[in-house]
């Protein structure tokens, strides 16, 4: 197939997908779209453990794609043709590009691979995949979920989800009298770029929980305010991208609060404009209070823990300079008597993981809390490099340069299923660009590069048995 045929297939599939999602109903999904293409080719489709397994003629490898994104009335896929064909979307760009790649492979003459389609989340870790294991026809697993291009991942970090409860003591107040003398405001920090699920930690420098805590401390140094609640969250288990605090202030100092907020928020936005162009600081008056104000000691403990807690990259690979260990403040939720916090640890090293956890435990202990481990998924390393070598040789043959082999904190979708399987597993993806918080883009030439690599790998795997 020459390049014009590839380009035609890419354009057709992308436009068909764009038309498919324009009319939304409960029966439509990205997974069902690719299943329809498999049926058109007459392939057998099995539903096992809530996963779809597409059987081809032979299986020298299993191509795995986890599709977590859901289409809705705001979803779009736009195909733009200039010097190259460009796809713009607000869907998960890594999933979408891999979906198109899979369909192109299905419509090719290559028939020595099976496809596994899943819809997994972290809390599916304990699901029993014993039945699925008996249907997997190859020990070579290729995950199409890496947020990096021109490389493959063969080592995958462990994932640990922990929680803690920071105690809150509240003041005894007469609610009516309190609201007669005080005003309640909500200060929000929104639209951190980390909201995109396609972004790796290396691209995320901030955390709204941390940022808002620093802002609040600065605000309290200038005007007397009481903290009522502190909430923050991210997408699934990612870094916190939105946060807000509810505060109370004596009516006499309302203008002082608004003037200081305007000054400090402008400083924050200017300082972060280059790396966080969509960041929004907002303040609004609210009429009710969810809880009485917390005591000053409770506020100080919350502020202290957030300040002390590790957030972001903890260690990097000396060769690739990519993060191999990190700790994220993922969520904060206020209740009457506690602030509930979720912390995510990722690490390729057990020693580093223990070091991070000890630091968080110490910060929690200082402030009257105890960290509890809720979920632990072990790291993954292939027992041999046979599949990696096939990829390396194919890449050098096609592009006359060496393939970068990396360790990653991500690609968790594969570990969720295959951590108990006797397989060799790698992950790769298609190059993309994050345009803004609501838009990502990828180009035909970049998808073709990944497609060509997988095609060559499948051909090499076929030759190995001839």
| Residues 151-206 pLDDT 10s | 999 988 899 999 999 999 999 999 999 999 999 999 999 877 654 433 444 444 57
Question: For 56-68, what is each residue's pLDDT tens digit?
Answer: 998 999 999 999 8
Q: CA 65 to CA 31: how far, in whole Å?
A: 9
* pLDDT value at 25 more than 90: no
- Would you state the pLDDT for residue 3? 66
The three-state (H, E, C) secondary structure of 176-220, written as one string: HHHHHHEEEEEEEEECCHHHCCCCCHHHCCCCHHHHHHHHHHHHH
pTM listed for this prediction: 0.85
Exposure class string for 53-87: b at 16+ Cβ within 10 A, else e: bbebebbbbbbbbbbebebeeebebebeeeeebbb
- Tokens, residue 6: 């590839």
Question: Taking the CB of residue 457, how many other CB atoms lie within 10 A of it?
Answer: 26
236 within 8 A of 225, measured Cβ to Cβ: no
- Grade residue 465 by pLDDT with cuts at 50, 70 and 90: low
- Grade residue 397 by pLDDT with cuts at 50, 70 and 90: very high
Q: CA 197 to CA 412: how far, in whole Å?
A: 13
Exposure class string for 292-317: b at 16+ Cβ within 10 A, else e: bbbeeebbebbbbbbeebbbbbbeee
Pinpoint the alpha helices (H) of 322-435.
350-366, 386-399, 412-418
Question: For 212-261, what is each residue's pLDDT tens digit?
Answer: 999 999 999 999 999 999 999 876 567 778 899 999 999 999 999 999 99
Average pLDDT, the chain: 88
Q: What is the average pLDDT across 441-455? A: 95
Rounded to 5, what percent of the chain is helix, strand, coil? 35, 30, 35
Handedness of CA 171, 175, 177, 179 (dihedral sign): positive
Question: For 263-293, what is each residue's pLDDT tens digit?
Answer: 988 887 787 766 677 788 899 999 989 899 9
Q: CA 167 to CA 336: how far, in whole Å?
A: 9
Question: For 92-112, what is each residue's pLDDT tens digit?
Answer: 899 999 999 999 999 998 899
Q: Which domains does the chain have, with CATH numbers?
A: 3-157+380-464 (3.40.630.10), 159-377 (3.30.70.260)
- Tokens, residue 156: 């995958």
């Amino acid at each position: 197939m020459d390049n014009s045929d590839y380009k035609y297939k890419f354009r057709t599939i992308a436009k068909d997908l764009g038309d498919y999602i324009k009319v939304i109903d409960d029966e439509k999904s990205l997974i069902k779209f690719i299943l329809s293409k498999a049926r058109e080719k007459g392939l057998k489709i099995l539903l096992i453990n809530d996963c779809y397994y597409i059987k081809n003629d032979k299986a020298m490898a299993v191509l795995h794609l986890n599709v977590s994104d859901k289409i809705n009335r705001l979803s779009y896929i736009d195909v733009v043709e200039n010097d190259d064909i460009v796809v713009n979307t607000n869907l998960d760009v890594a999933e979408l590009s891999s979906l198109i790649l899979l369909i192109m492979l299905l419509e090719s003459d290559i028939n020595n691979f099976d496809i596994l389609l899943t819809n997994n989340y972290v809390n599916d870790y304990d699901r029993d995949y014993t039945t699925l294991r008996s249907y997997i026809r190859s020990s070579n697993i290729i995950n199409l979920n890496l947020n990096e291009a021109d490389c493959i991942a063969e080592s995958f970090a462990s994932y640990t989800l922990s929680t803690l409860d920071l105690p809150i003591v509240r003041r005894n107040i007469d609610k009516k009298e309190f609201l007669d003398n005080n005003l309640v405001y909500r200060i929000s920090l929104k639209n951190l770029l980390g909201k995109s699920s396609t972004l790796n930690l290396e691209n995320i420098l901030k955390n709204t929980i941390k940022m808002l805590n620093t802002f609040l401390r600065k605000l309290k140094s200038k005007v007397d305010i009481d903290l009522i609640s502190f909430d923050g969250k991210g997408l699934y288990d990612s870094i916190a991208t939105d946060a807000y605090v509810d505060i109370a202030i004596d009516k006499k100092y309302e203008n002082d609060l608004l003037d200081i907020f305007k000054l400090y928020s402008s400083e924050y936005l200017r300082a972060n404009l280059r790396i966080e162009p969509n960041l929004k600081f907002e303040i609004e008056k609210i009429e009710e209070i969810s809880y009485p104000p917390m005591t000053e000691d409770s506020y100080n403990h919350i502020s202290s823990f957030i300040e002390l807690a590790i957030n972001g990259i903890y260690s990097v690979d000396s060769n690739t300079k990519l993060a191999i260990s990190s700790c994220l403040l993922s969520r904060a939720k206020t209740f009457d008597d506690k602030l509930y916090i979720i912390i995510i640890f990722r690490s390729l090293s057990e020693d580093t993981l223990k070091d991070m956890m000890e630091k968080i435990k110490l910060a929690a202990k200082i402030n009257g809390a105890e960290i509890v481990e809720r979920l632990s998924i072990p790291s993954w390393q292939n027992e041999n490099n046979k599949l990696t070598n096939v990829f390396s040789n194919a890449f050098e043959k096609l592009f006359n340069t060496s393939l970068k082999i990396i360790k990653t904190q991500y690609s968790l979708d594969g570990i969720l299923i295959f951590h108990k399987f006797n397989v060799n597993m790698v992950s790769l993806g298609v190059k993309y660009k994050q345009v803004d918080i609501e838009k990502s883009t990828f180009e035909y030439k970049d998808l073709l590069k990944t497609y060509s690599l997988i095609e060559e790998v499948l051909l090499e795997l076929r030759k190995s048995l001839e």
